[in-house]
Copies of this chain bind each other. A is one copy, B any other.
């Protein structure tokens, strides 16, 4: 039996192999994506992000347990940070995650760090689609931090949970500019620790300032992942957010929106790759730089020439 056939029969080994092919851009990966796309579009995609040490892995673990117990099939993607700084999850977390992976309703995948940040977001999106096509009800995507990759990944999710801990009072300040804005749901983990109440108040005051572009009331859920407390509430908030998002659009419109977004992302990726190669390799580029250096033109006027060059490359 072929790999795709085994995949379609629900074989998790085939799923793992296909993800590896897609992740490593091995020959034929695009044909695989093209074939699987028709099966995708049903899974709920949930991003969990926040600073290192906030307990995201533990929350994912608890959510996985809860969902599996109620018969849901759950794919989990742990995106390693691209930063060489971050040490990743504690060993204990990893071990518990591995226990979870023995559950037949659960499939866990860790995305390899790669130099090209654009590549990581793209590979994560493709892996999510493959898991979706495989038939998971939910895909949970755990990312660390506040880089562009995390924002790109979060944008491709249906709901984004930003995880805090009481100790991150200052982190809230630091993250105001970036991470807070992508949250649909705020989760205060380790809520039994000192400072939890103060941080909830701080968050509430910040949320009061958040411009409401819609009528969604941003919930702040308090959890203690390690003691398995508050996980129901978190799951309820995620369900509420899904219902909220579905309340004013038809299923067909949502499908169209998803397709349009996928299409835009894929086209943009293609154009950007060609742009880089055309610009960096072209004689025109070299010549234009020399002309600007000589003072006979400037980048603003010369850009048009290069856009024309790119368009030739796109048609060829």
Contacts and interface: CB of A to CB of B under 8 A. Distances in A.
Interface of A: 30, 33-35, 37-38, 51-53, 81-86, 144-148, 150-151, 167-171, 173-178, 180-181, 206, 209-211, 252, 255-256, 259-260, 262-264, 266-268, 270-272, 275, 279, 285, 288-289, 292-293, 295, 298-304, 306-308, 310-312, 314-315
Given A259-B292, A263-B289, A302-B263, A177 B37 contact: no
Interface centre among A82, A148, A292, A295 (most CB of B within 10 A): A292
A279 B210 CA distance: 31
Contact of A308 (B168, B174, B300, B315): B315
Contacts of A84: 209-211
A82 B145 CA distance: 19
A4 to B, nearest CB: 14
The number of times this chain is found in the oligomer is 2
Contacts of A167: 170
28 contacts: A33-B298, A34-B300, A35-B298, A37-B298, A38-B295, A51-B173, A52-B177, A83-B181, A85-B180, A85-B181, A144-B177, A145-B174, A145-B175, A146-B175, A146-B177, A170-B171, A252-B293, A259-B299, A260-B289, A263-B279, A263-B302, A264-B279, A268-B275, A270-B303, A271-B271, A271-B275, A307-B314, A312-B315
Given A293-B259, A300-B34, A307 B275 contact: no
A181 B86 CA distance: 11
Give the 4 A-B residue pairs with the shortest CB-CB distance, closest first.
A145-B177, A311-B314, A51-B174, A37-B298
Contacts of A175: 145-146, 174
A86 B289 CA distance: 40
A256 B293 contact: yes
Given A289-B256, A298-B38, A311-B314, A177 B147 contact: yes
A252 to B, nearest CB: 7
A288 B263 contact: yes
Given A263-B292, A267-B279, A174 B148 contact: no
Contacts of A174: 51-52, 145-146, 168, 171, 174-175
